[in-house]
């Protein structure tokens, strides 16, 4: 998607890259390198609402993203998993097994994990809320330290502790 617009946002977890077109948001990624944020006035029109909602999330003003998305990749199964992520509410977690059962295929735990790892809209499609069946934190494309931070951030007791 070479014609996608890009904007970089600052966050407590490092820079976040948004990509999208007029059709919708196509990717949200944490960046490892220090990259300057896109000035608000320079954010492409197609990414302004996504920018506003991500900043509202980190400002504790938003718990559920309501964005037009346009993801062209993914198998039918991956898309089912990504859609199931939207059912894991803010401040809650689900296991990979929970999602596999929800999809009617309890034997697909590893496939659910692999699909979760390919989620192009991390944070917006909250894959950070998916944990191991025994409660352990397992893989996260943005790094386990970010997953741990996000889960703590979404807990009521953390509402004043992190800032």
Half-sphere exposure of 40 (CA within 13 A, CB side): 3
Type and span of the H or E element at 81? helix 76-85
Helix ranges (H only) for the chain are 48-58, 76-85, 96-102, 109-117, 144-153
Q: Which of 127, 131, 150, 151 does the annotation list as catalytic?
A: 127
> Strands 94-95, 24-30: parallel, antiparallel or unpaired by DSSP?
unpaired
Contact call for residues 24 and 67 (beta carbons, < 8 A) = yes
46 catalytic per annotation: no
Specify the 3-state DSSP secondary structure of 6: strand
Could you list the active site residues? 127
């Amino acid at each position: 998607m070479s014609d996608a617009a890009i904007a970089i946002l600052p966050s407590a977890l490092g820079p976040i890259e948004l990509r999208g077109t007029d059709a919708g948001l196509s990717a949200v990624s944490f960046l490892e390198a220090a990259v300057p944020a896109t000035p608000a006035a320079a954010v492409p029109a197609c990414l302004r609402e996504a920018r506003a909602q991500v900043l509202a999330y980190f400002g504790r003003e938003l718990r559920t993203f309501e964005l037009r998305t346009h993801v062209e990749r993914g198998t039918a199964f991956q898309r089912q998993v990504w859609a199931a992520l939207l059912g894991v509410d803010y401040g809650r977690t689900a296991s990979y097994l929970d999602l596999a059962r929800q999809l009617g295929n309890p034997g697909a735990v590893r496939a659910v994990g692999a699909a979760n790892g390919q989620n192009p809209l991390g944070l917006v499609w909250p894959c950070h809320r998916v944990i191991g069946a025994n409660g352990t934190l397992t893989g996260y494309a943005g790094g386990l330290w970010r997953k741990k931070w996000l889960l703590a951030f979404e807990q009521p007791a953390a509402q004043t502790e992190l800032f």
